[in-house]
Amino acid sequence: MAVTFPKGFYWGGATAANQIEGAWDQDGRGPSVDDHFLGGSITTPRMITRDIDPARFYPNHDGIDFYHRYKEDIALFAEMGFNMFRLSISWSRIFPNGDDEKPNEAGLAFYDNVFDELAKYGIEPLVTLSHYEMPYHLVEKYNGWESRELIGFFEKYCKTVFERYQDKVRYWLTFNEINCGTMDMGNLFETSMIQGFEGPASASHTTMQQRYQALHHQFVASARVVRYAHEHYPQFKMGNMDCFVLTYPGTCDPADQLANLAEMRRMNWYCSDVQVRGAYPSYAARFWRENGIELQVEDGDLADIAAGTVDFYTFSYYMSGVVDTHDVEQAAGNMSMGGRNPYLKSTDWGWQIDPEGLRIALNQIYDRYQIPLMVVENGMGALDEVSPDGSIHDQYRIDYLRSHVRAMGEAVDDGVDLMGYTWWGPIDLVSAGTGEMRKRYGFIYVDKHDDGSGTYERRRKDSFFAYQKIIKSNGSEGLE
């Protein structure tokens, strides 16, 4: 049976300001937390410096220079057939320190220009308000989201951009992969509790108490912003964004089943249960008790959370994992969970490729929440080789794309209300986890390398044309 997608389905790509824009200190922008990260690799963690050292290379400072090349890049997206582009606003481009009295007009004007360019091609923007970055001043002064004061700063920032772009943006997401805040490594980007820290990113640690208190502050901030949008801008649709890491029990041992239930709740359900249902889930109290977590909840917090539920659920999906209470080989990769799955292949960076898992995830999420869904990140980082004639033959990426689109089509046929699909990194960008350029996701090649060299020239890969065919047919062709 042919795969069919609903009429008006959104096809596109997803990016983050800190990974593509560059121009880190231009036109009044303040330093973001990401601007203090050096490059790393799959084996070497990124280093964090409190002060910017002009003699060292910070890959996010230049990104892929989208700030100056956005017209060229958007034209390429339009050529592929995009009708949606997910991007984020750099908080420090609007409020350089995060707690400034007035916004930076030059920053606001930049996004006006980007949204106008998208509109020229009929491309709908999907805007993430906080995508793994915050003004570094908020890190140093408040220790990021550990401080309740960030709620007010975030509200002010959101109200500013809502007012400015109310006629240009309809779809908004509050926090990118908010559930990564449950993990120790999520501290680096998602909650940014690295006040005073310097050294390898892997050496930065937080307590469970800190992580879940910071998440509570984010839940309140997100809910207040969602409620404000609903009250003042009824045309807006507000979404959450989770990193969905599907896990399977390693065996039919009931111990594995229980361990997997606990992992799915911790990683995949805890945050979205709050943001979609508007309350902490029933299993939270025991989890807090057993992990020594005592949330500081102020009067009105739970009412705010209840009043600020999202309109649609979005998520990233890259891989699946295995939860096993027995002695098994562990999967590789900086985001991989648990044991290696012998039935799956992996990417060059050790992420297990599981398109059927995407269908399973879509069904599980929709069964649980019954609101529209969107896959806003999916893709694979790979080593690309430029042929002597300048072409890039990336059949491995095409295979990955096709298999995941087929899985989404099956989920739609299963009855899932799926709104759209935005491939992660439709153009090569700086990897968040490793800071590398050689870990390439794009359908468009960018001539920039891990040492900062390159012309920044854009090239279409074979996958560019493969995705173009899929989009043109609304997913009914190009999957063979």
Active site positions, annotated: 177, 377
Q: What six digits make up the tokens of 81?
A: 């057939």
Phi and psi at residue 147, to the nearest 5°: -90, 130
DSSP string, 24-51: TTSTTPPPBGGGGB----SSSPPEE-SS
Phi/psi-derived region of residue 196, left when phi > 0, alpha when psi is between -120 and 50, beta in every other case: left
State how far the Cα of 344 lies from the Cα of 152, in Å rounded to an integer: 45
8 Å CB contact between 404 and 470? no
Q: What are the CB-based long-range contacts (under 8 Å, 24+) for 285-289?
A: 288/212
8 Å CB contact between 319 and 351? yes
> Tokens 């400015």 appear where?
164
- DSSP at 207: -
State how far the Cα of 57 lies from the Cα of 243, in Å rounded to an integer: 29
User: Crossing angle of helices 395-414/355-369, nearest 10°?
Assistant: 30
Phi/psi-derived region of residue 451, left when phi > 0, alpha when psi is between -120 and 50, beta in every other case: alpha
State how far the Cα of 39 lies from the Cα of 47, in Å rounded to an integer: 7
Residue among 426, 422, 421 nearest 394 (CA):
426
Q: How many residues does the chain have?
A: 480
Q: What six digits make up the tokens of 202?
A: 């892997």
Half-sphere exposure of 430 (CA within 13 A, CB side): 31
**Could you tell me which residues are beta bridge partners of residue 446?**
458
